[in-house]
Amino acid sequence: MAFEFLEPVNAELQQVIHSFSDQSLSQYVRFYEGEDEIELDNIQLAFLCVKDSRQSVYEKKSDFYFDDIRTQLYSMYVGNWEVKILDLGDIAMGDEASDTAYVFKSILSALYKKSIVPIILGGSQDLTFYQYRAYDGIRYMVNLTSADHKFDLGNSEMPMHGQSYVGKMIIEEPYNLFNYSNLGYQSFLSPLEEIDLMDKLFFEALRLGELKQDFTKVEPVLRDTDVLSVDIYCVKSSEIADSNHKNINGFSTFDLCKLSRYAGMSDKLSSFGIYELQALAKSEGLVQLISQMLWYFMEGYSLRLNEEVSEDNSHFTKYSVPIQDEVLVFLKSEVSNRWWIKIPNENNNAQKASLLACDKQDYLDATASILPERWLKAKYKNNI
């Protein structure tokens, strides 16, 4: 079992953390102590850090500061909610990048099988590839979303690195990647052929400017997501104390906290990673940002409703909208006020139509004879 390769959080830090207020997160965390068998029952979230940045394309600006984040995170107060957290400690850098990847994938696979949601802090974002591959044999199709200023499609014929892992997911068997969504890409950093490829594969991409106008557009995307990967380099340079950070247009710290909360609230999302921590200069502000992102994810997780979305559920209202040659069927939850739209499967009549998360604006657009773009892409993909 790959757990033997973990480096537990040191005893001195554990003692400090357990001395925090009994109203803080410190009261809800249990630490892995290096035991041969790990008790995973009754655990909801697992915190895991990976000390490997060899495949990153960014200049390394700092050593990993995972313990600083732990100290800040576990000192934060909770509201009227609680979560059961297991801190697994750190995965040390293996002799080869493939060694780190093997341990990482094996641990995540064990967590997925127990329906435990891992919260990952790591080095190079290519670790997302193994975050996704850990579902092999557990889940047939996987939806991936990245918060990133680039698509990370790269050249799939070259060795994988932190900005080419999505390309590897597309071409490598087994073909488990059903949908890839990018949140926050910037057009001037994205080659036209990559934008065209995103369209041809019916993947989703929401430009940074589009999200700045209406950030709530990320919520339906995250509601349909299994894996969320955040490249922390996407934060706007003026938001952090790193004068050499070049991303002058990016997400605000507030945006990233909202994104994390939406992700936590998603009933489907089962894996959350924040990567490229070494690519920014360590500062108190950066430690605060990442800690708060994790806190908001946990708060969102505590608010999950696990709604059973169905026309037969009395808590849902059905709306049928005739448009062109279609009749779009929307479902609205009267509990959460969230919306879904039916995606017909024309290739297999015996298979039930799937449901795609959407928002009220998609319904309003449909009533104005405008077909929702997410619906169109999902329909084409379902019928390939």
Which of 127, 116, 162, 126 shows the shortest CA–CA distance to 49?
Answer: 127
3-state secondary structure the chain: CHHHHEECCCHHHHHHHHCCCCCEHHHHEEECCCCCCCCCCCCCEEEEEECCCCCCCCCCCCCCCHHHHHHHHHCCECCCCCCCEEEEEEECCCCCHHHHHHHHHHHHHHHHHCCCEEEEECCCCCHHHHHHHCCCCCCCCEEEEEECCCCCCCCCCCCCCCCCHHHHHHHCCCCCEEEEEEEEECHHHCCHHHHHHHHHCCCEEEEHHHHHHCHHHHHHHHHCCCEEEEEHHHECHHHCCCCCCCCCCCECHHHHHHHHHHHHHCCCCCEEEEECHHHCCCCHHHHHHHHHHHHHHHHHHHCCCCCCCCCCCCCEEEEEEEECCEEEEEEEECCCCCEEEEECCCCCCCCCCEEEEECHHHHHHHHCCCCCHHHHHHHHHHCC
Distance CA 35, CA 32 (A): 7
Q: Model confidence at 350, in pLDDT bands (50, 70, 90)?
A: very low
Distance CA 301, CA 44 (A): 9
Rounded mean pLDDT, 207-224: 97
Rounded mean pLDDT, 332-346: 92
Distance CA 205, CA 148 (A): 10
Contact residues for 257 (Cβ-Cβ < 8 A; gap 6+): 292, 293, 296
Q: pLDDT by residue (tens digit) across 51-99? A: 999 999 999 999 999 999 999 999 999 989 999 999 999 999 999 999 9
346, pLDDT greater than 70: no
Residue range(s) of every CATH 3.40.800.10 domain in the chain: 2-302
Q: Model confidence at 319, in pLDDT bands (50, 70, 90)?
A: very high
Supply the pTM of this predicted model: 0.96
50, pLDDT greater than 80: yes
Distance CA 313, CA 240 (A): 46
**Among 96-105, 143-152, 234-243, 343-352, which is the least confidently predicted range?**
343-352
344, pLDDT greater than 90: no
Distance CA 384, CA 375 (A): 14
Rounded mean pLDDT, 274-297: 97
**Are the C-beta atoms of residues 357 and 369 closer than 8 Å to each other?**
no
Distance CA 177, CA 143 (A): 6
151, pLDDT greater than 80: yes
For 2-302, which CATH class?
alpha beta
Residue 159 backbone phi and psi in degrees, to 5? -55, 145
Q: What does the pLDDT read at residue 135?
A: 97
Average pLDDT for the chain? 94
Residue 205, Cα to own-chain centre: how many angstroms? 15
Q: What does the pLDDT read at residue 37?
A: 83
* CB half-sphere exposure, 201, CA atoms < 13 A: 20
Tokens of 354: 């799937």
Total number of residues shown for the chain: 384
Position 120, amino acid: I
Distance CA 278, CA 232 (A): 10
Q: What does the pLDDT read at residue 39?
A: 87
Q: Which strand ranges, in their side-by-side order, compose the sheet holding 326-333?
A: 316-323, 326-333, 339-343, 354-358
Q: What does the pLDDT read at residue 71?
A: 98
Rounded mean pLDDT, 283-300: 97
Rounded mean pLDDT, 17-39: 93
